[in-house]
């Protein structure tokens, strides 16, 4: 009798907590999804363009061969994900990390249970060291795409940083987008405009998702 496949708590394994202004701490979090039958056709892929948000952010590091590979390794054997490719990159505002950083962490392939995946991305994003959810996740329906956003606070070197994070997930792509910008680290989390963050994430999605 053949051994049963492992029930890994893996589907879209995407969770990133951004850290200090200059140094971004990337934390990959395993997230689980329930099993369903059937997989969508692979039509789109997640890329890391040289710039995002109409050129405001410039690609600083493509971590897909390292952190992205970790995502792929964790997802290997998942029941609800096929043809997996991890994508992780950091972007600096105007090319200057001191001004701010944007982190994209995601996967492309063929995925199921996308609503659950998106919710779990939000949970995973708050599981980094010293991270807490300051504003619970809220869903935004924008141009036919559901984007979830929350505000996470993370303490590093005695300083608490405020990090808005958003996520999307569809049959082919899924990612979190975390932003650490001055003066955001000193902002009251309740003052963060989550709808604006969601619209930025939708823009990132439109710039980063390309046909295969």
The Cα–Cα gap between 174 and 168 comes to: 5
Work out whether the CA dihedral 149, 28, 33, 168 comes out positive or negative.
positive
The Cα–Cα gap between 184 and 73 comes to: 34
**Higher pLDDT, residue 30 or 138:** 138
- For residue range 66-114, list pLDDT tens digits in order: 888 877 777 666 666 778 888 999 999 999 888 889 999 988 988 887 8
Q: Strands across the sheet with 100-111, in order? A: 51-52, 57-62, 81-93, 100-111, 173-181, 159-169, 145-156, 131-142
The pLDDT, as a whole number, for residue 112 is: 80
9-23, 96-110, 173-187, 193-207: the lowest-pLDDT one: 9-23
Chain centroid to Cα 175, Å, comes to 4
Name the residue ranges covered by the structural domains of the chain.
Answer: 44-211
* Res. 186: pLDDT tops 80: no
Q: Which CATH class is domain 44-211?
A: alpha beta
* Res. 116: pLDDT tops 70: yes
Backbone angles phi, psi at 191, to 5 degrees: -90, -5
């Amino acid at each position: 009798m053949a051994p049963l496949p492992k029930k890994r708590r893996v589907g879209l394994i995407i969770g990133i907590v951004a850290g200090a202004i200059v140094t971004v701490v990337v934390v990959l979090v395993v997230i689980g999804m329930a099993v369903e039958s059937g997989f969508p056709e692979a039509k789109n892929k997640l890329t890391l363009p040289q710039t995002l948000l109409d050129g405001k952010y410039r690609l600083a590091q493509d971590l897909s061969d390292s952190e992205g590979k970790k995502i792929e390794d964790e997802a290997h054997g998942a029941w609800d994900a096929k043809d997996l490719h991890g994508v992780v990159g950091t972007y600096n505002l105007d090319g200057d990390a001191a001004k701010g950083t944007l982190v994209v962490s995601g996967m492309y392939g063929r995925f199921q249970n996308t609503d659950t995946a998106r919710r779990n991305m939000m949970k995973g994003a708050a599981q980094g060291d010293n991270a807490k959810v300051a504003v619970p996740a809220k869903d935004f329906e924008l141009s036919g795409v559901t984007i979830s956003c929350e505000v996470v606070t993370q303490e590093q070197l005695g300083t608490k940083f405020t990090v808005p994070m958003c996520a999307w997930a569809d049959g082919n792509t899924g990612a979190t987008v975390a932003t650490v910008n001055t003066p955001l680290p000193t902002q009251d989390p309740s003052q963060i405009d989550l709808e604006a963050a969601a619209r930025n994430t939708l823009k990132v999605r439109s710039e980063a998702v390309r046909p295969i």
